Amino acid sequence: TQLLEQSPQFLSIQEGENLTVYCNSSSVFSSLQWYRQEPGEGPVLLVTVVTGGEVKKLKRLTFQFGDARKDSSLHITAAQPGDTGLYLCAGAPGSSNTGKLIFGQGTTLQVKP
Amino acid sequence: NAGVTQTPKFRVLKTGQSMTLLCAQDMNHEYMYWYRQDPGMGLRLIHYSVGEGTTAKGEVPDGYNVSRLKKQNFLLGLESAAPSQTSVYFCASSYGQRGETQYFGPGTRLLVL
């Protein structure tokens, strides 16, 4: 069974601080996605990374896919209260063509003004 | 476009009762998924469908059944609800293939007493 371990599970920081969320596995994924979920809503896709070593930037968010395609990180620069939410990583198993995703446990981020 | 919609939004059941959760999507997506979300456990796949008339088991299928009679609808049934099925249920859809974005509904909060 493929697993994605996400850390930390909870993060509370002050506005303006930087943070990094990690998503690790012993398995290879063909791609990895990051979703953000706000209370009472479903997850919404932030980014998909496909190539080992790939780095994508979305404003103050930087996403990286590990060279071996087993891990990923999300770095937020100068966090703002609007960044508060649940961040989920999700990997597409290399052997599957069903569109299934394996989700990490999630990281709850709280950014205090 | 409404995207992915779920009904009902909230439901309270007594142990042993049955119910059906309805998911509808208007994006002409082939693939649809049912997840449950519990604190600290991310999203776990219950059942999924790769096309009209087809369904398959996910990670945690016990106690649930599904049907996909029409392409736009995916139903999740609980024949005899148990307290362990108290959770938030999310439906998602995608075009399919590996690494495609999944579009989520707003969720159904279910409490089984």
* Residue A19 Cα, gap to closest chain B Cα (Å): 20
Distance CA B15, CA A44 (A): 33
| pLDDT at position B111 | 97
| pLDDT at position B104 | 97
Contacts of B94 in chain A (CB under 8 A): 99
The pLDDT value recorded for residue A96 is: 64
- The reply to whether residue B44 touches residue A103, judged by beta carbons under 8 angstroms, is yes
Q: Which residues of A touch B (CB under 8 A)?
A: 4, 6, 9, 30-31, 33, 40-45, 48, 50, 88, 90, 92, 96-101, 103-106
3-state SS assignment for residue A78: coil
Q: Which of B17, B33, B16, B49 is nearest to B90 (CA)?
A: B33
Residue B100: list chain A partners with CB under 8 A.
99
Considering only CB atoms, A97 lies closest to which of B41, B44, B97, namely B97
Question: What is the predicted pLDDT for the residue at A20?
Answer: 98
Q: For residue A79, is pLDDT > 90?
A: yes
**Within 13 Å and on the Cβ side, how many CA atoms surround A64?**
11
Average pLDDT estimate for A21-32: 93
Q: Which residue of B has its CA nearest to A40?
A: B106
How large a percentage of chain A has pLDDT more than 70? Answer: 96
Chunked mean pLDDT (size 10), chain B, 113 residues? 93 97 96 94 93 94 97 97 97 83 96 97
Q: For residue A44, which residues of chain B lie inside 8 Å, CB to CB?
A: 104
pLDDT at residue B99, as a whole number: 67
pLDDT, averaged across chain A: 93
Model confidence at A95, in pLDDT bands (50, 70, 90)?
low
Q: Phi-psi category of B26—alpha, beta or left, where left has phi over 0 and alpha has psi -120 to 50? A: alpha
